[in-house]
Amino acid sequence: MMSKKVKGRLLIVFFLGIFILVGLIIYAYARTWGKTEIEFRIHINEELVLQSVYGESPSFAIWIQNPETAETKTIFITNRAGVDDWEGKVEVPTALPAWDSINRKEKKPNQADTDIDAVTGATPLPGYFTTRVRVRPGSRWTCWIEMNLAGDYNEHYKEFDEASKTTDEFGTGQPAIVYKAEIEAVPGNTVVPEVVGMGVLNEEEEIIQPLEGITTAIDVFDEIIVAVVKPKPKIL
């Protein structure tokens, strides 16, 4: 039978544990007080992914831009584009040309290519993908997304062009689709990004071009929502 002394010690330990847990919860909520995040929620169309030649989820990049200073910050980039892992190819400049130009500007002198690992993630499987970035409450941002599904050929963008006798060297398929949205960092604000063009570098070095010959690529991301939310409290 347990003695009163042992019971007393167990009660002390129990209440001490409760006190610590409550303290951690309060601390977790305190860390998020008055802070805001921009959340990107994307749904990847599995049917269109499987219809592509490679059957792999698309490469895509997400970045935000300060509309006043034009400074940018990459939020997320899929693995292949982030670390130039293109299965035997040194690089695929046609995959995400708009983000590639942004990435070059973001890099500081002598910055290693591996520094992008901080925002590089495994290419998400079809279905929902979510990522967030902490921003100053009330600040305004331009949100950008660029997406390319490799091997999604159509009548306009062919794997082999009989007329010119050329092959799609990089397996790009239809060009990258570029989305844009403006948002103010006020909790509850939501926007649906609009397609502003396709990522193609022309002779004038203009990257975002009007859509031309695009079919299925426009529906690979069949749902995109950008929302301002409160950070999720984390005890650890």
Are 20 and 13 in contact by the 8 Å Cβ rule? The answer is: no
Q: Are residues 29 and 89 in the same domain?
A: no
d(CA 33, CA 227): 18
For residue 221, the SS3 value is strand
Q: Are residues 6 and 69 in the same domain?
A: no
Q: Are residues 99 and 1 in the same domain?
A: no
For residue 187, the SS3 value is coil
Does a structural domain hold residue 50? yes
Q: How confident is the model at residue 28 (pLDDT cuts 50, 70, 90)?
A: very low
Q: Which residues form the domain of 153?
A: 35-229
Q: Are residues 200 and 213 in the same domain?
A: yes
Does a structural domain hold residue 236? no
pLDDT digits (tens, 9 = 90+) for 180-229: 999 999 999 999 999 999 999 777 778 999 999 999 999 999 999 999 99
The vertex-208 CA angle with 70 and 218, nearest 5°, equals: 120
The model's pTM = 0.79
Provide the mean pLDDT of the chain: 82
Q: Kindly report which listed range (87-101, 107-121, 154-168, 217-231) carries the lowest average pLDDT score.
A: 107-121
pLDDT digits (tens, 9 = 90+) for 150-185: 999 999 999 877 776 677 777 889 999 999 999 999
Highest mean pLDDT among 25-34, 83-92, 178-187: 178-187
Specify the number of domains making up the chain. Answer: 2
Q: Are residues 79 and 164 in the same domain?
A: yes
